[in-house]
Amino acid sequence: MNIVQFISTLFVLWFVFLMFPILLSAQDSLTLKTSRGMQFSAVDNHDFQLRKFVVPTALIAYGASSFAIPKMKKWDLQTRNEVLHKNPARTTIDNYTQYFPAVMVYGLNAFNVEGLHDFKHRTLIYLTSQLISGAIVFPAKQFIAEERPDGTNKKSFPSGHAATAFATAHFMYKEYRDKNIWLGLAGYPFAVFTGIYRVINNRHWVSDIVAGAGIGIASTELAYWLYPKMTGLFKGGEQRPGQSAFIPYIGHNRFGINAVRSF
């Protein structure tokens, strides 16, 4: 895979990331607005539907296939070599762009551009998605122990930056797709940029990025599905007798879930 093929592949992936939510939206919409985009129900956003996981599962499978198919690993090596040969300028901005979509969500809300949820509910969903993503990424890095392209350690697969970036981009999509579909999609370019620069900075293989993207999207979908079960969202936000709630927490160098049972 030369540099032209690499860039072409990235544009194809970008197209997939952009078209996946649009196609999903077309199937999920209850009514179709005009230039404002598509309108959705809160129930649909929180439903568990296997088709929502088709693309993220395919992305994870693509990344994992590099361990089983020699040609896939060869493409990773060829891409890394081509990128190094071109010697593009490196930057550390990818450490920040992974969070840009989430910052945009809160920034828009600060300017009274409301999304699907209010501050408290939105924050709980976002933290849950990051918790799920971290619970997948960190153990996988330790267990798989794939060496980074720059040889600094063996925590390359999957890409945590890509997982965070696509989790936040999909979070923005879920919050704003019923407001304006294009506004909802605005986080994906930052996610793709983050993934590209993880490769340019010689910190990840392409397969790491693709798998990380799948994990991020799936984590956000799972967070939206779990949310009603954690808070009783569709029952007025109040816990009924005998109802359980699961609240994620993030502390110093640790994360987990608190279980609460009401009687």
Per-residue pLDDT tens over the stretch 166-184: 999 999 999 999 889 999 9
Using CB atoms within 10 A of its CB, is residue 209 exposed (0-12), middle (13-18) or buried (19+)? buried
Contact 25, 40 (CB under 8 A): yes
The tokens 């925590």 sit on which residue?
155
Q: Which of 47-51, 70-74, 225-229 has the lowest mean pLDDT?
A: 47-51
Q: What is the pLDDT of residue 172?
A: 96
Of the chain, the percentage scoring pLDDT greater than 70 comes to: 70
Q: Which of 121-125, 225-229, 251-255 has the lowest mean pLDDT?
A: 251-255
- 257: helix, coil or strand? strand
Taking alpha carbons only, the member of 112, 137, 125 closest to residue 230 is 125
Whole-angstrom distance, CA of residue 19 vs CA of residue 41:
20
Detail the DSSP E strand segments found in 9-157: 31-32, 38-39
Whole-angstrom distance, CA of residue 80 vs CA of residue 6:
10
Detail the DSSP E strand segments found in 181-231: none
**How far is it between the farthest Cα atoms of the chain?**
65
Taking alpha carbons only, the member of 133, 132, 199, 200 closest to residue 164 is 133
Whole-angstrom distance, CA of residue 45 vs CA of residue 230:
15
User: Has residue 240 got a pLDDT over 80?
Assistant: no
Task: Identify the band that residue 223 occupies on the pLDDT scale cut at 50, 70 and 90.
Answer: very high
Beta-carbon count within 10 A of 25 CB: 21
Q: What is the pLDDT of residue 2?
A: 47
Task: Identify the band that residue 209 occupies on the pLDDT scale cut at 50, 70 and 90.
Answer: very high
Whole-angstrom distance, CA of residue 150 vs CA of residue 228:
43
- 246: helix, coil or strand? strand
Whole-angstrom distance, CA of residue 140 vs CA of residue 121:
29
Segment 43-71 shows an average pLDDT of 86
Q: What is the pLDDT of residue 22?
A: 47
At position 224, the amino acid (one-letter code) is: Y
Q: Quick one: angle between helices 3-28 and 188-200, nearest 10? A: 160
Beta-carbon count within 10 A of 253 CB: 5
Task: Identify the band that residue 16 occupies on the pLDDT scale cut at 50, 70 and 90.
Answer: low
